Chain A
Amino acid sequence: MTLTFLFAWLILGGLLAWLAGRWNKEAPRWISLGFMIVHLIVSVRLWISFLTNKGLTLAQGEWFLMEKSPWIPQWGIQYFLAVDGLSILLIVLTSFLGLLAVACSWKGIQERVGFFFFNLLWILAGISGVFMALDLFLFYFFWEIMLIPLYFLIGIWGHSNRIYATIKFFIFTQASGLFMLISILALYFIHGSQTGHYTFDYVELLGTQVSPKIAFWLMLGFFLGFGVKLPAVPVHTWLPDAHTEAPTAGSVVLAGLVLKAGAYGFIRFLMPLFPQAGKEFAMVAMILGIIGIIYAAMVAFAQNDLKRLVAYTSVSHMGFVLLGVFAWNQLALQGAVMIILSHGLSTGALFILVGDIYDRLHTRDMDKLGGLWSVTPRLGGFGMVFALASLGLPGLANFVGEFLVLLGVYQVSVPIAALATLGFIASTIYSLWMIQKTFFGKNVNEWKMPDATPREISIYAALVVALLWLGLFPNTVLRTSRQALKNLQQITSQYFQGSKEATTNPSVEELNKSRSNYGGLE
């Protein structure tokens, strides 16, 4: 029942917060906080039991926890939730960022508080569902659930141009979701007509024989659905607008979790369902990834709206995920999962920071900011750490992910890895520029504002600790996702075997021989 609990609990919490909000402003906050804390405890306990029980050695086709019962049996739709290491990591991330999203909306949201927290918790419920659902129909259902509350969240509590942004966001994600739905249905019918057994069950659909040509188109449908969410260049332009207009919690959830649903979709669904088509398409996808890394980093550098800058950095970082997924080897995948987590933390942190500055000064225009370090050294110090995480400083989380991805990509294509490394430079440029324009320089406009409050400090401190922990002790996470990723790779092994030998490795035998001669450090 844990899995059902993980999303139903938030559905319940959202409803309660809404009801409570009818007679009290304070109540929804405390209710949401309480519900998120319980959610975090449950998900962390799930993770711990995963690490201590047999979770690390699950074979292919096994799940750590699974809940399965018929839902609409006539159409072969099941209520099918299951988790492995990959899902568990993402669920923990959801609880953690969800908790922070509640905490960072504490003061900023003063209108329709109940309905706000209702939406926030329902988004989180939808996301939790997405990370667990293994029935494609159910998956699509959750996919849409997280969308609509987010639409309200931006549309009601957003900034001045919010209507434009919400409509854009909605059309982009909805339209791309429809392409995915078509692919899902096509797969459903192809599988049904071949076996006579019509089902949306992911595990059963895995081995479906689809002719390569059709498989390619179906894969493209999924690619659009997930690629828009990720977002991949050139379908990314909804993101900066949505972020710029969203309230802080909306941005945190959007960057930290909703985008990750896209990344998760690539790993869990696209590649395993269409390995051959995925492999054919890999080069194109990786090139899109590189373009995303460099292009978005350049656009980010040009922005003077602080939040828009951070939004573009998201696009840039997600380019690394795209690279990692389509390189589809163990190193790159582990790296991609690390980036998913670390980017959620670092970018979420930057959005919270930007939100706090905006709440104080009511501007995000970097041409008007500057010199804030002398006014608020604590905010400055935290901002520095988050910017450094974002530029991939070793010792902080993002570096581990980016390094592993590049290492994995190098196996597949040296030029792509080398080009992607340029992203290191580009990210340095925008990160330092952001710090310069915000915290350094003269305080020309003589901004005065209070430094971080205890509530804010605890949010930031939690994020810094998490970033350091992932940067210095990433092995807990890497171990958690290892077997799950290996199993996914095994599904596709038939098409991806050759990639390892492609590297120019001067005779492995000789290497082993000389190593045994040396005999010391093995």
Chain B
Amino acid sequence: MYDLLWLVPTFPFLGFLILAIFGKKIGKKLSAVVGVGSIGLSALITILIGIQFLTNPPEGHAFVQTLWTWIAADDFKVNIAFHLDALSMVFAFVVTFVGFWIHLYSTEYMADDEGFSRFFAYMNLFVGAMLMLVMGDNLLLLYLGWEGVGLCSYLLIGFWYRDPANGYAARKAFIVTRVGDAAMAVGLFMLFYSFKSLNIQEILSVAPHVWSPGNKLAVASTLLLLGGAVGKSAQLPLQVWLPDAMAGPTPTSALIHAATMVTAGVYLIARMNGIYLLAPLSMTAVAIVGAATLLVAGFAGMAQTDIKRVLAYSTVSQIGYMFLALGVGAWSAGVFHFMIHAFFKALLFLAAGAIILAQHHEQNMFKMGGLAKALPVTFWTFLIGSASLAALPLITAGFYSKDAIIWYAWSGPNGSIYLWMAAVFGAMVTAFYTFRMVFVTFFGEQKMEISHYPTWRVHIPLIALAFFALFGGFIELPGTLGHLTLFSDFMKSALPVVEGGHHEVSLEIFSQVLTAVLALVSIFVAYYLYLKNMQIVTNFTSTKFGHGLQQFLLSGLGFDWLYERLFIRPYVWLSRTNKRDFIDFFYVFLPWLARQFHYLFKYTQTGKVRRYVVGIVFGVLVSITIVVIL
């Protein structure tokens, strides 16, 4: 089975090629078959390989398949080669499995779009690039996938290209992430010259022998990689592109937020854990970035009116949790939350897409309402997803995955009480904005008639994902509640186990109970403010302070405003002012000067002999004078 590994990314790429070249000719039906089928096959092979991996793991819990030598120059050599271990297994599974449901769903969502086959071509490319990212055995191949997903996000966000606003959002996504990528590239140079190799396993195994903990190069290179990670994963300070990425078709958002792209940063840091462990400073930086992001994005989420933007900020915030987990050294907890998050976030976006489709493409949730009765399947699955996102205690997968992170933020090897407080506070905020969204959208009175009733192609993905969003958490239970460690045992071969820290059981129970109670309280507050007594909110936002705060949060805490003035305007101004290329003025000046001399001497050519004689005499006098003086 392992030998078929290369087929996993090949199917999506093949699907892309077929759709890109023949898409227009083969029609929608066949395009759908190719688009969904390629991901389906890819998912099938991944699952089969996964089963074998569980029952009969390869030697050393890793399998490497080399296809060909990609670049070899001097002492630099990288292969097109795939590396499969527990970490890439989990990521590949999520990418293909969740990706498959999103593709299936898209066949209905995009049914009436003229760019149907183009859409599936991009989506396939997206999945293929993400698979390269998680399966590449060296950092350059990872970088190929890394840039590839950046490209695909650009293509899909700007999918409806006629509207310049979509184009703007698309460019923003690509350019902002490319800023991070540039930093990451420098990080790669640094790693290459430290280890004379870009092979990930080689770097990880050699690093402890070459770098002592706290080595400057280790810190510098991990910080540069972190630069790449915050770009792709939409963390502070490069989080600004993700909320605007809503411009693309909704299934795209599901793909970007759940299966591909934004989790790339989490993967990178988890993958390079060995060198991060050598750079405590960078670990702390990762944790702080995560904690700060989860709060900032959570606040922004509380004020959004666009249902997709709420979800977008929730993604930024949840990825913040994953970064926090990685930063405090709880590697497998971070990856676990990634997996659970993929299930419920894909579910939420797909359900939101069904709602938007049913509401005349309206995205403002305050113009919706009362949809619970009209769209029962959508409602129940959306509720499950929301519960998981809000970490409703005991019954949802999100509770178990998030709870682990919150606890490790305190008890983990790199944890602290401040990080824990941020995480707990963030959980409260999350529960609030999530259920605000649920109450506003599904309860109250219905404001719009239903324009589209979803069919099985929407319902099946929703139900499948809801199942995992609910029960996926039971494979890893905390010590206080059953103590099941299937997932972390599985990850043990690829990621370091959490060591050190303190393990008082009473504290852990306190943390869990507190988080659970706060989440429930938040949900009640949301219920009270947005269903029971909306007057309070309207009164508050009509005051000057309330309005200002609302606008501030709505704009994502003013980052766009700042960057616009700090980077965009100066760059555009500088470029536009110099449109004529000022260096050229010098070269234009030269012929101008020559021409001036030409005019000047033209005047001496008068045709009058008297003047010429005077000129000659004068010249002779000057010459003689010079000779005499010298």
Q: Tell whether, in the assembled complex, residue A482 and residue B579 are in contact, meaning their CB atoms are under 8 Å apart.
A: no
A436 in the interface, Cβ–Cβ < 8 Å? yes
Knowing A302-B575, A474-B70, A521-B201, say if A234 contacts B175 (CB, 8 Å).
no
Q: Tell whether, in the assembled complex, residue A521 and residue B202 are in contact, meaning their CB atoms are under 8 Å apart.
A: yes
- Write the nearest CB–CB distance from A163 to chain B, whole angstroms: 13
Q: Tell whether, in the assembled complex, residue A424 and residue B161 are in contact, meaning their CB atoms are under 8 Å apart.
A: no
Among the listed B143, B167, B217, which residue makes an inter-chain contact with A440, where contact means beta carbons less than 8 Å apart?
B167
- Write the nearest CB–CB distance from B238 to chain A, whole angstroms: 12
Complex Cα distance, B287 from A52, in Å, reads 55
Knowing A404-B73, A513-B209, say if A421 contacts B186 (CB, 8 Å).
yes
Bits for B163-180, please: 1 = Cβ < 8 Å to A, else 0. Answer: 110010011001100110
A68 in the interface, Cβ–Cβ < 8 Å? no
Interface SS, A side: helix
Collect the chain A residues with CB atoms within 8 Å of residue B76's CB. 331, 404, 407
Collect the chain B residues with CB atoms within 8 Å of residue A475's CB. 69-72
Knowing A334-B74, A440-B167, A441-B162, say if A302 contacts B576 (CB, 8 Å).
yes
Q: Tell whether, in the assembled complex, residue B186 and residue A472 are in contact, meaning their CB atoms are under 8 Å apart.
A: no
Q: With contacts defined as CB atoms under 8 Å apart, how many contacts are there between chain A and chain B in the complex?
A: 161
Name the interface size band of chain B.
Answer: 35 or more
Knowing A394-B143, A473-B68, A504-B217, say if A439 contacts B161 (CB, 8 Å).
yes
Knowing A298-B571, A381-B20, A440-B164, say if A425 contacts B73 (CB, 8 Å).
no
- Write the nearest CB–CB distance from B78 to chain A, whole angstroms: 10
Segment among B370-378, B467-475, B541-549, B581-589 that sits at the interface with chain A: B581-589
Q: Tell whether, in the assembled complex, residue A421 and residue B148 are in contact, meaning their CB atoms are under 8 Å apart.
A: no
Q: Tell whether, in the assembled complex, residue B144 and residue A478 are in contact, meaning their CB atoms are under 8 Å apart.
A: no
Complex Cα distance, B217 from A410, in Å, reads 14
Q: Tell whether, in the assembled complex, residue A298 and residue B578 are in contact, meaning their CB atoms are under 8 Å apart.
A: yes
Q: Tell whether, in the assembled complex, residue A518 and residue B206 are in contact, meaning their CB atoms are under 8 Å apart.
A: yes
Which single residue of chain A is at the shortest CB-CB distance from B154? A432
A4 in the interface, Cβ–Cβ < 8 Å? no
Which single residue of chain A is at the shortest CB-CB distance from B162? A442
A371 in the interface, Cβ–Cβ < 8 Å? yes
Segment among B188-196, B353-361, B503-511 that sits at the interface with chain A: B188-196
- Write the nearest CB–CB distance from A237 to chain B, whole angstroms: 4
Collect the chain A residues with CB atoms within 8 Å of residue B74's CB. 329-331, 334
Bits for B34-75, please: 1 = Cβ < 8 Å to A, else 0. Answer: 000000000000000000000000000000000011111110
A276 in the interface, Cβ–Cβ < 8 Å? no
- Write the nearest CB–CB distance from B440 to chain A, whole angstroms: 34
Q: Tell whether, in the assembled complex, residue B162 and residue A514 are in contact, meaning their CB atoms are under 8 Å apart.
A: no
Which single residue of chain B is at the shortest CB-CB distance from A482? B73
Collect the chain A residues with CB atoms within 8 Å of residue B68's CB. 473
Complex Cα distance, B163 from A440, in Å, reads 8
Complex Cα distance, B148 from A400, in Å, reads 15
Q: Tell whether, in the assembled complex, residue A373 and residue B161 are in contact, meaning their CB atoms are under 8 Å apart.
A: yes
Collect the chain A residues with CB atoms within 8 Å of residue B217's CB. 504, 506
- Write the nearest CB–CB distance from B68 to chain A, whole angstroms: 7
Among the listed A395, A407, A429, A441, which residue makes an inter-chain contact with B192, where contact means beta carbons less than 8 Å apart?
A407
Complex Cα distance, B154 from A422, in Å, reads 20
B181 in the interface, Cβ–Cβ < 8 Å? yes
Knowing A301-B575, A394-B147, say if A428 contacts B206 (CB, 8 Å).
no
Q: Tell whether, in the assembled complex, residue B162 and residue A504 are in contact, meaning their CB atoms are under 8 Å apart.
A: no
Collect the chain A residues with CB atoms within 8 Å of residue B179's CB. 425
Interface SS, B side: helix
Among the listed B70, B174, B210, which residue makes an inter-chain contact with A472, where contact means beta carbons less than 8 Å apart?
B70
Q: Tell whether, in the assembled complex, residue B202 and residue A518 are in contact, meaning their CB atoms are under 8 Å apart.
A: yes
Q: Tell whether, in the assembled complex, residue A417 and residue B175 are in contact, meaning their CB atoms are under 8 Å apart.
A: no
Q: Tell whether, in the assembled complex, residue A429 and residue B189 are in contact, meaning their CB atoms are under 8 Å apart.
A: no
Knowing A394-B143, A511-B210, A521-B202, say if A302 contacts B578 (CB, 8 Å).
yes
Complex Cα distance, B196 from A517, in Å, reads 16
List residues of A (2-44) whose CB comes within 8 Å of B's CBs.
none
Q: Tell whether, in the assembled complex, residue A393 and residue B151 are in contact, meaning their CB atoms are under 8 Å apart.
A: yes
Q: Tell whether, in the assembled complex, residue A425 and residue B194 are in contact, meaning their CB atoms are under 8 Å apart.
A: no
Name the interface size band of chain A.
Answer: 35 or more
Among the listed A400, A411, A417, which residue makes an inter-chain contact with B186, where contact means beta carbons less than 8 Å apart?
A417
- Write the nearest CB–CB distance from A464 to chain B, whole angstroms: 11
Collect the chain B residues with CB atoms within 8 Å of residue A422's CB. 182
Complex Cα distance, B205 from A506, in Å, reads 15
Which single residue of chain A is at the shortest CB-CB distance from B215? A506
Which single residue of chain A is at the shortest CB-CB distance from B69? A475
Collect the chain A residues with CB atoms within 8 Å of residue B70's CB. 472-475
A374 in the interface, Cβ–Cβ < 8 Å? yes
List residues of B (572-605) whose CB comes within 8 Å of A's CBs.
574-576, 578-579, 581, 583-584, 586-587
B518 in the interface, Cβ–Cβ < 8 Å? no
- Write the nearest CB–CB distance from A282 to chain B, whole angstroms: 18
Among the listed B20, B151, B192, B199, which residue makes an inter-chain contact with A521, where contact means beta carbons less than 8 Å apart?
B199
- Write the nearest CB–CB distance from A371 to chain B, whole angstroms: 7
Q: Tell whether, in the assembled complex, residue B73 and residue A440 are in contact, meaning their CB atoms are under 8 Å apart.
A: no
Collect the chain B residues with CB atoms within 8 Å of residue A520's CB. 201, 205
Which single residue of chain B is at the shortest CB-CB distance from A427? B178
Q: Tell whether, in the assembled complex, residue A403 and residue B140 are in contact, meaning their CB atoms are under 8 Å apart.
A: yes
Complex Cα distance, B215 from A406, in Å, reads 24
A299 in the interface, Cβ–Cβ < 8 Å? yes
Q: Tell whether, in the assembled complex, residue B579 and residue A371 are in contact, meaning their CB atoms are under 8 Å apart.
A: no
- Write the nearest CB–CB distance from B264 to chain A, whole angstroms: 14
Which single residue of chain A is at the shortest CB-CB distance from B577? A302
B487 in the interface, Cβ–Cβ < 8 Å? no
Knowing A299-B575, A334-B73, A422-B182, say if A518 contacts B205 (CB, 8 Å).
yes
Collect the chain A residues with CB atoms within 8 Å of residue B206's CB. 511, 514-515, 518
Complex Cα distance, B209 from A298, in Å, reads 44
B24 in the interface, Cβ–Cβ < 8 Å? yes
Q: Tell whether, in the assembled complex, residue B189 and residue A410 are in contact, meaning their CB atoms are under 8 Å apart.
A: yes
Collect the chain B residues with CB atoms within 8 Å of residue A301's CB. 575
- Write the nearest CB–CB distance from A369 to chain B, whole angstroms: 13
Complex Cα distance, B202 from A37, in Å, reads 47
A111 in the interface, Cβ–Cβ < 8 Å? no
B211 in the interface, Cβ–Cβ < 8 Å? yes
Q: Tell whether, in the assembled complex, residue B189 and residue A441 are in contact, meaning their CB atoms are under 8 Å apart.
A: no
Complex Cα distance, B163 from A436, in Å, reads 10
- Write the nearest CB–CB distance from B135 to chain A, whole angstroms: 15
Which single residue of chain A is at the shortest CB-CB distance from B210? A506
Collect the chain A residues with CB atoms within 8 Å of residue B301's CB. none
B158 in the interface, Cβ–Cβ < 8 Å? yes
Complex Cα distance, B585 from A234, in Å, reads 11
A289 in the interface, Cβ–Cβ < 8 Å? no
Collect the chain A residues with CB atoms within 8 Å of residue B578's CB. 298-299, 302
Collect the chain A residues with CB atoms within 8 Å of residue B18's CB. none
B450 in the interface, Cβ–Cβ < 8 Å? no
Q: Tell whether, in the assembled complex, residue B73 and residue A421 are in contact, meaning their CB atoms are under 8 Å apart.
A: no
List residues of B (84-101) whose CB comes within 8 Å of A's CBs.
none
Among the listed B151, B175, B210, which residue makes an inter-chain contact with A429, where contact means beta carbons less than 8 Å apart?
B175
Collect the chain A residues with CB atoms within 8 Å of residue B463's CB. none
Q: Tell whether, in the assembled complex, residue B182 and residue A233 are in contact, meaning their CB atoms are under 8 Å apart.
A: no
Residue from the set A236, A329, A334, A407 with the largest chain B CB neighbour count within 10 Å: A407
Complex Cα distance, B171 from A164, in Å, reads 37
Q: Tell whether, in the assembled complex, residue A504 and residue B193 are in contact, meaning their CB atoms are under 8 Å apart.
A: yes
Complex Cα distance, B189 from A410, in Å, reads 7
Name A's B-contacting residues (CB within 8 A): 168, 233-234, 236-238, 240, 298-299, 301-303, 329-331, 334-335, 371, 373-374, 377, 381, 388, 393-395, 399-400, 403-404, 406-407, 410-411, 417-418, 421-422, 424-425, 428-429, 432-433, 436, 439-443, 472-475, 478-479, 482, 503-507, 510-511, 513-515, 517-518, 520-521
What are 13 sample pairs from A and B whose C-beta atoms fall under 8 A apart?
A: A168-B587, A237-B584, A298-B575, A299-B575, A330-B73, A374-B162, A393-B151, A394-B143, A395-B148, A410-B189, A473-B70, A482-B73, A514-B209
Given contacts A233-B583, A394-B143, 7 further A-B contacts (CB under 8 A): A237-B584, A394-B147, A440-B167, A441-B167, A442-B163, A474-B71, A511-B195
Name B's A-contacting residues (CB within 8 A): 20, 24, 68-74, 76, 80, 140, 143-144, 147-148, 151, 154, 158, 161-164, 167, 170-171, 174-175, 178-179, 181-182, 185-186, 189-190, 192-196, 199, 201-202, 205-206, 209-211, 215, 217, 571, 574-576, 578-579, 581, 583-584, 586-587
